[in-house]
Amino acid sequence: MKILQASSSCLITLLLILPLVFAASSSSEDFDFFYFVQQWPGSYCDTQKSCCYPTTGKPAADFGIHGLWPNYKDGTYPSNCDDTKPFDSSTISGLINSMKKSWPTLACPSGSGEAFWEHEWEKHGTCSESVIDQHEYFQTALNLRQKTNLLGALTKAGINPDGKSYSLESIRDSIKESTGFTPWIECNRGGSGNSQLYQVYVCVDRSGSGLIECPVFPHGKCGTEIEFPSF
Ligand code: 5GP
Ligand code: 5GP
């Protein structure tokens, strides 16, 4: 009788624990790595659509953050994962000054940046909540921008935002030389139809702390020679 009681209480404990074990393991597989994406303002602005400077004024002539995007190794990605955690600027009040400098919005009409940050948090940030909370999400992106210093990497190799064309290979190599990892370069078309350096993707581990080689690259194509517009 005692044995029967003991084994049934074991069974009940097991039944109570199992869902927790599954919940923990599924949330640890909710994405594999991040793309950290930075945009060149000159290339956002010189397209046929043009741009609007933020209400705080013209951003510095430097790469700005577009987003930190959780991704799967098969190239697909989750989005809008938790509508119970809306963007809350009070969680990043200590970061706002850095955000305005490093994550400026260029979309029209002019804004402070909050709408852009809100969009990025809701679409992408909510999918990394198992690892980092809202404050950490934005802090992680700011740290990564400092760490990658794309403009420094390019100018060190003699690649300057001067409206001239550079080989895609030299752009990729200079960033690899400086960060240690191969970036993905995304191009767009300038006003005259030219292929130009628009966004740079680097891959980041699940914790958001270290760069990694990309498990998979996005799709898209640049020319072999691409323009680096001024801003
Ligand atoms: P586009 O279609 O202009 O390349 O991308 C539009 C938006 O879709 C991006 O700004 C981003 O929010 C999302 N997106 C595009 N490609 C990827 C990707 O490979 N991974 C993730 N996580 N999001 C992406
Ligand atoms: P994604 O392409 O990541 O889904 O999000 C881009 C969204 O953010 C678009 O709705 C776009 O209008 C808005 N947005 C606001 N500012 C910027 C900006 O400076 N660059 C880009 N690429 N999108 C911006």
Query: 101-136, pLDDT tens digit by residue?
Result: 999 999 999 999 999 999 999 999 999 999 999 999
DSSP assignment, residue 128?
G
Across all residues in the chain, what is the average pLDDT?
A: 90
pLDDT band at 5 (very low <50, low <70, confident <90, very high): low
Cα 167 from Cα 226, distance rounded (Å): 6
Residue among 45, 53, 105, 122 whose CB has most ligand 2 atoms within 8 A, to mutate:
105
For ligand 1, the distance from its centroid to the CA atom of residue 8, given in whole angstroms, is 51
Query: Does residue 8 surpass a pLDDT of 80?
Result: no
For ligand 1, the distance from its centroid to the CA atom of residue 121, given in whole angstroms, is 14
pTM: 0.89
Residues with CB under 6 A from ligand 2: 39, 44, 66-67, 105-107, 116, 119, 123
Whole-number Cα distances in Å, 140 to 28, 69, 214 = 19, 12, 18
Cα 131 from Cα 205, distance rounded (Å): 11
Cα 200 from Cα 148, distance rounded (Å): 10
Contact of 27 with 130, CB cutoff 8 Å: yes
Tokens 């949330």 label which residue?
A: 27
Give the active site residue among 29, 118, 122, 124: 124
Residues with CB under 6 A from ligand 1: 35, 69, 71, 77, 123-124, 218
Catalytic residue list contains 124: yes
Nearest-atom number in ligand 1 for the CA of 71 is 22
Which helix (DSSP H) or strand (DSSP E) does residue 187 occupy?
Answer: strand 184-189
Whole-number Cα distances in Å, 198 to 18, 43, 60, 217, 221 = 47, 5, 16, 16, 12
152-168 per-position pLDDT tens digit: 999 999 999 999 999 99
**Residue located nearest, by CA, to atom 22 of ligand 1:** 69
Q: For position 1, what pLDDT does the model report?
A: 44
For ligand 1, the distance from its centroid to the CA atom of residue 133, given in whole angstroms, is 21
21-63 per-position pLDDT tens digit: 444 434 445 999 999 999 999 999 999 888 999 999 999 999 9
28: its two tokens: 């640890």
Residue among 34, 40, 66, 69 whose CB has most ligand 2 atoms within 8 A, to mutate:
66
For ligand 1, the distance from its centroid to the CA atom of residue 120, given in whole angstroms, is 11
Q: How many residues does the chain have?
A: 231
